[in-house]
Structure 1
Amino acid sequence: MTLPRRAHVPCLLAALMLTACTTPAVRSPDAGTPSPVSPTPSPAPSAVSTEPPAHGVQAAEAAGPSPGNGLAIYEDFRTGLAEPQCGNSQARWRKHFAHAPQRLGDPGTDTLLLFAHVVESLRAAGLPTEFALIPFVESGYAPGARSKAGPAGLWQFIAVTARGHGLRVEPGYDGRLSPAESTRAAVSYLKSLDDTFDGNWRLVAMAYNAGEYRVLQALRRSGGNISSATPESIKGLSPVTYAYVEKLHALACLLEESGERTQWRAGLDQPVPRLRAVPLENAKSLDAWTAKNDQDAKVLRRFNPALAGHWPSRGVPLALVPTGVQGDMSVAAATSARSGTDEADATAGSATHTVRKGDSAWSIARHYGVTTRRLLELNDLKANSVLRPGMVLRLQ
C-alpha cells in the first residue's frame, strides 16, 4: 500500500529521536565547504541496474521525444518552475551566476543538450525544474568534472553516496561520470526527498545539500511544519545549506528574465539533438557499440566520459545518445555545431585550438582530453592568464 506523502515524515522523526546519523560530504565547486548530498545511502548492489525505474530517465523516454528546439526546451523549464516569482532573489548570487544564461545559450558548449535531458527527466518524475539548476551549482554542467575533495560528475556525488543510489564506482569505471546513470540516480533521490518533505522544493534542496536527516532534525528542534516551513524558520544548519536554496532561486530568476530578451530567445531558437538514455547492449566498448549502431564515437565520448576508454566489469551501462535532430542536419553535425568546433578542431588529435568567446583553459582541456595543467604548460600560461578570442593554443 502506498502511504500518503505526509506519512513518511513521522517515521523519520521518530527514528531521529533514537539516533543521529553521520553524513558523507560532497563539495560544491562554488560553495567552498563540504556539503552532504546523501547522508543515508541504503544498501544497493554496486552494479547499475538496467531495469526500468518507476520514474526518471526511462519514464522520460516513455513520454516521447521532446521538441527538437532549444526554445521549446527553455519553455519546458519555465513551465516546471515551482517558484517563478523573482522579487526575493539575492543580488549576491545573481551576480555570481550571471554567466549562466549566456552559457545555456552558447553554441560553444553542450550545456543546453545536457540541461534538456535533466529537465525532461525531472518533468517526467513530477519534480520542480529548479532542480535542473543543481548541476550548474555543483559542476557547471560538466559531466566529467572531478573535485580534489572526491566528488565527481554532473551531480558531484561522492563515492559512498553514488554506490548507495545504485551507481557503480570501481577501478576502471566510474558511474558518476555517466550523465545518464547519475541523472537517473539524482532524480530518484530527489523524488524520495520530495515525498519526505511534502513537495516543499526549498526543503528538498536543503536536504540534497545537507542530508534529509540533518534537515529533519533541525526542523524538529525549530518546531516547524514541513509543508509550510521556510529556510529562515529552520535554525542550526550550515550557512552553505541556506545559501544553496538561494543559489538555485537566483539561477531560476536569471533564466526567467533572460527569456524576456529577444536576442537571447532567438539564439535558442534552433534545432537541438535530444540526448536519449540508451542501454549499450551486446558491446564491450563504446567504440564497438558506436560502430555497430552507426553513431559518431567522438560525440558519444564527449557526452559519456565514464565510457571514454572504460567499461564496467559486468552489467549493461547506460549512455546518452544524441537523436532526433529535425531537418537536414545530422546528429553529428548538430552536436559539432553546438560545440563550436570545425572539422579540424573536432578531433582529439588536433595540434592547435583557436580561442573563441567564452572559452576557458578548463573547457578547452576537457574538450581535447588533456589536463588543464598540461595545456597551460604547453602555452607558457599561468592559472590566472586571460584567454582572448583569436589566440592559438598548442595542444601537444
Structure 2
Amino acid sequence: MPSHSLPALTTRLPTRLLRGLLLPALVLLLHGCAALVPPADRDGSEARESSRPGFSTLPAISRQGGDGEPATDHRHDLWGAVASRFTLPIPDNARVDAEIRRYARHPEYLREVSQRAEPYLYMIVEKLEAANLPLELTLLPIVESAYLPQALSSSSAAGIWQFIPSTGTYFGLDRDAFYDGRRDIEASTDAAVTYFSQLRGMFDDDWPTVIAAYNGGQGTLLNAIRENEQRGRPTDFWSLKQIRKETQDYPARLFALVRIFSEPEKYGFTPHAIENRPALAQVELDRSVSLVKLADLTGMDHDELYRLNPGFGRSITGDTPRQLLVPREARGRFDVDTLNSAASAAEDWQRYTFVRGDSFYRVAQRYGSSVDELLAINRRQDAVARPGQVILVPTGRVDRAIASGNARTHTVQPGESLWAISRQHGVKLAELRRMNAYGDNPVLRPGDKVIIGATMGSGNQDAPSKYVVQPGDTLWQLAQRFSTTVEELTALNRIGPDAALKPGQELRVASN
C-alpha cells in the first residue's frame, strides 16, 4: 500500500550506491497497512471514447501450447488472456512457496476476489499495457484490498489500490465532502500506474524491489539496500533485512498469486469467467447530479451504479466536474435530458454540518426527512453523528410545510426563551429566527407556537428505525451507539429508564 510520504520521482538512478547517497533527501515514513488476504487458518463523448486505447479484444496467443499448437482462445476468458501474457519470472524461494500454500488452501476466496474484479479488470489491463507495465499487477489489488473499493485500512488507506490521504493527494486523487478519488476505480488506477512507472525507473526494473517499494516506500527500500551494501551483503530484494515483515512478505504474495493464476487447475481453482471485451464507458458530469435519479431514469440497479463509482460517497455527486463509469451497453441511456433531470433532483439537497448535540433523528425532524432517508442519501450504514461532519439534507421542505400549515411547532412554556427552545429541539438559533421571521430579541408568550421544523412529507419513511436487541445491550449503550439519549429511547418505546432489555426485543431507535 502506497502510504508513505513521497519525494519527487523524476530521476532514474543508475546505481544503488547513488540511491544510497540520495537517501537523506527522502522521507522515510512507514505506513500501517494490513493487506487484506484470504482467511487465515482462521462513455464520455464520442470524441473522448475514440481517443482511449484499443477497445479490441486482448490478444490471447502469446505463447505456444506444449504440443506446438496455439494457446487457448481467450475471447470469453479475460483472466486467461491476462495470465497467458505474464512475463515476470517467479522467484523460487521459501517465502513464495509459503504464500502459494496459504492461498491454495482457499480456492473459494480466490474465485470470489476474481469475480469482484469483473467490472474493472479490462480497464485496468488497458492502463497497464498503455504504460508498458507487467500484467501481473492486475493481481495486486487482491493483495491490497481483495478488490473491495470500500476497503479501509487501520492507517486510512482506501480503495482497491490502498492509497492513504497524503499519497493520494500527491498523485492527484482529490477528496471533498462528496468524493474520494482513492476509491474511484479509474482515477486510483491511473495513480497506481503513475507510481509504478516511477518506481520501475528508480529501481531499474528490479520488480521484487519495485513491488515492495509500493508497499513499504521507496525510501525504506533504498535504506535497506544501502545497509546491505555497507555490510558487503547481496542487495537483491530477497536478501534485504532492514524492512518490516509485511513488506518482506508483500512481493511473495503477489508472485504466489501469479503462480496460481498461471496454473489455476493445478491448485483446484477456477477463476471467475470474465468476457474479454471492454465493459465500461465514461459519462462526463459538468455539475452535480443525483445518482438515485440517474439509476431510476436509466433502469440501472442502484447498487450497480454505486459499485462502478465508489468514489462518490453520497448519492449526490457534488459541484466539481467528475466522470461517471457506466456499463458500456448502457451508455446511450445517459443522454442530455436524463442528466438534466438528475441535476434538477440534486438541487433538492443541501449540505448540513453536525454540531454538538445533533442526532440524525433531530436533524431529520428539523428538515422533514427520516433517519432512513438521510442514511440512504448519504450512503451511511451507521447513525453516529460527529460534530463537524457534513451530510446532505433536503431543501425546501420546511418552507413548504410552513406555507401549507403543516410545520412542526413547539408550544412556549412560561419562562422559556428562544435559546432554550433551540437547545431543546436541536435547532440552530439563527434557523429558528429565519423560520419564524423573528428579529434578534423576539418576545415569547406562554402558548405561542414556535415553528421548529417540517412534518414528514408524503412518500417519506417514518423517522424512527427498528433495532432488534442483542444479548448484553443496555439502553445507555444503544443511546451511545445511535447518538441519541436514553430519554429519547424510552419516550419512543414507552418504557421506563430502568427497563430490562431482552434479546430479540424490537425497539424504535430515533437515532442520528
TM-score, normalising length: structure 2: 0.50
Report what 2:246 is aligned to: 240
Describe how 1:153-164 pairs up with structure 2 within 5 A.
153-164=159-170
Match among 302, 305, 314 for residue 310 of structure 2: 305
Match among 130, 136, 144 for residue 142 of structure 2: 136
What letter matches 2:278 in structure 1? R
Match among 117, 125, 130 for residue 123 of structure 2: 117
Contact 1:276 1:322 in 2 (8 A): yes
In 2, Cα distance between equivalents of 1:60 and 1:87: 43
Say which SS state the counterpart of residue 192 (structure 2) adopts.
Answer: helix
In 2, Cα distance between equivalents of 1:293 and 1:124: 35
Match among 162, 165, 168 for residue 171 of structure 2: 165
Report what 1:317 is aligned to: 322
Shift of 1:294: 4.5
In 2, Cα distance between equivalents of 1:193 and 1:284: 36
Match among 152, 155, 158 for residue 149 of structure 1: 155
In 2, Cα distance between equivalents of 1:122 and 1:60: 17
Shift of 1:172: 2.9
Show CA shifts across 1:7-55 (max 9, x none). Answer: 4977654432x44523252513348xxxxxxxxxxxxxxxxxx9xxxxx
Contact 2:83 2:262 in 1 (8 A): no
Say which SS state the counterpart of residue 321 (structure 1) adopts.
Answer: strand
What letter matches 1:155 in structure 2? W
In 2, Cα distance between equivalents of 1:297 and 1:8: 53
Matched, 1:72 2:78: yes
Match among 281, 288, 300 for residue 296 of structure 1: 300
Describe how 1:330-369 pairs up with structure 2 within 5 A.
none
CA change 1:161–1:258 in 2 (3 A) is same
Report what 1:15 is aligned to: 22
Contact 1:178 1:319 in 2 (8 A): no
% identity of equivalent residues: 23
CA change 1:100–1:184 in 2 (3 A) is farther
In 1, Cα distance between equivalents of 2:75 and 2:469: 38
Match among 228, 250, 260 for residue 256 of structure 2: 250
Describe how 1:79-118 pairs up with structure 2 within 5 A.
79-84=85-90, 90-98=96-104, 102-103=108-109, 105-106=111-112, 109-118=115-124
Say which SS state the counterpart of residue 300 (structure 1) adopts.
Answer: helix
Say which SS state the counterpart of residue 320 (structure 1) adopts.
Answer: strand
The structure having more radius of gyration, on CA atoms, is: 2
Contact 1:286 1:297 in 2 (8 A): no
Please, which runs of 5 or more residues in structure 1 have no aligned partner? 32-49, 51-57, 331-368, 382-396
Show CA shifts across 1:188-222 (max 9, x none). Answer: 11111111111111111111011112211221222
Contact 1:287 1:297 in 2 (8 A): no
Say which SS state the counterpart of residue 143 (structure 1) adopts.
Answer: coil
What letter matches 1:230 in structure 2? D
Contact 1:59 1:124 in 2 (8 A): no
Match among 192, 202, 221 for residue 196 of structure 1: 202
In 1, Cα distance between equivalents of 2:50 and 2:151: 26
Q: Which moved more, 1:196-205 or 1:94-103?
A: 94-103
Contact 2:148 2:159 in 1 (8 A): yes
Say which SS state the counterpart of residue 62 (structure 1) adopts.
Answer: coil
CA change 1:4–1:371 in 2 (3 A) is closer
What letter matches 2:325 in structure 1? L
User: Relative contact order, CA 8 A, sep 6+: which one is greater?
Assistant: 1
CA change 1:260–1:10 in 2 (3 A) is same
Say which SS state the counterpart of residue 170 (structure 1) adopts.
Answer: coil
What letter matches 1:15 in structure 2? L
Contact 1:69 1:272 in 2 (8 A): yes
TM-score, normalising length: structure 1: 0.63
In 2, Cα distance between equivalents of 1:218 and 1:261: 34
Contact 1:59 1:121 in 2 (8 A): no
Contact 1:150 1:159 in 2 (8 A): yes
Report what 2:443 is aligned to: none
Contact 1:178 1:318 in 2 (8 A): no
CA change 1:236–1:166 in 2 (3 A) is same
Shift of 1:284: 1.5
Matched, 1:281 2:281: no
Please, which runs of 5 or more residues in structure 2 have no aligned partner? 1-9, 38-43, 59-73, 334-378, 384-466, 472-512
CA change 1:150–1:235 in 2 (3 A) is same
Match among 53, 61, 71 for residue 62 of structure 1: 53
Q: CA RMSD, aligned part only?
A: 4.3
